[in-house]
């Protein structure tokens, strides 16, 4: 129970920092950093919406395995996509692991009622947090941005949520 309370506090702190970064125009923070399926990803703050703790979803039959279902997020019905599954990484989900997961909603300006299930929130990042970068390969999906490398040499993949929301694979949930 204490773990859930700590997770709620983390969500509240991150939401406050996201709002402050947006309203103050802080150049230092460009992305929301998340971990999903063992990979590290950077979601642009301008395209990211509210963060919600896992609260369960209503499954939808005859859909892709990565489409988890729909959830009520503050009165809005949102499609919930298992982000690692969409990226081709199978992750065994248990109620315990889902208890630590979060739903990252798309920014309302993108006009997509969807949220990505991510395993862990890692805070805010900016270009100053990385030692190098590499442009996306020519054959990468349109929603892939540059790959950034931290001081330890670990890769962080930038994901453009606006492009993801228009990707044919993302839009084709039917199995």
For 148-156, which contacts have Cβ atoms below 8 Å and span 24 or more sequence positions? 148/42, 154/40, 155/40, 156/33, 156/40, 156/41, 156/42, 156/125, 156/130
Q: Looking at residue 111, what is its pLDDT?
A: 95
DSSP 15-49: HHHHHHHHHHT-SS--EEEEEETTEEEEEEGGGEE
- What is residue 14's predicted lDDT score, i.e. its pLDDT? 64
With beta carbons less than 8 A apart as the criterion, state whether 22 and 73 touch. no
pLDDT, residue 85, reads 93
Q: Is the pTM of this model over 0.85?
A: no
Per-residue confidence (pLDDT) for residue 101, from 0 to 100: 93
Residue range 57-89, pLDDT digits in tens: 999 999 999 999 999 999 999 999 999 999 988
In the chain, the percentage of residues whose pLDDT exceeds 70 is 86
Asked if residue 27 has pLDDT above 60, the reply is no
Give the pLDDT of residue 3: 64
The predicted structure's pLDDT at residue 175? 87
Question: How many Å apart are CA 106 and CA 156, to the nearest integer?
Answer: 20
Superfamily in which the 2-171 domain is placed by CATH: CheA-289, Domain 4 (2.40.50.180)
Q: Residue 129: helix, strand or coil by DSSP?
A: helix
Domain spans of the chain, in order of start: 2-171
| pLDDT score, position 96 | 81
């Amino acid at each position: 129970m204490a773990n859930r309370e700590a997770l709620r506090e983390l969500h509240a702190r991150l939401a406050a920092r996201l709002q402050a970064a947006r309203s103050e125009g802080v150049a230092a923070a460009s992305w929301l950093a998340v971990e999903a399926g063992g990979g590290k990803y950077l979601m642009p703050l301008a395209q990211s919406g509210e963060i919600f703790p896992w609260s369960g979803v209503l499954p939808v039959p005859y859909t892709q395995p990565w489409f988890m279902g729909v959830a009520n997020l503050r009165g809005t019905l949102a499609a919930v996509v298992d982000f690692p599954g969409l990226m081709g990484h199978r992750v065994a989900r248990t109620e315990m692991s889902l208890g630590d997961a979060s739903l990252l909603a798309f920014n309302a300006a993108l006009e997509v009622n969807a949220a990505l299930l991510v395993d862990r929130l890692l805070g805010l990042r900016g270009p100053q947090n990385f030692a190098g970068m590499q442009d996306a390969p020519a054959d990468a999906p349109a929603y892939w941005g540059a790959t950034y490398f931290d001081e330890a040499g670990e890769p962080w993949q930038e994901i453009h949520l606006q492009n993801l929301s228009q990707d044919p694979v993302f839009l084709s949930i039917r199995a």
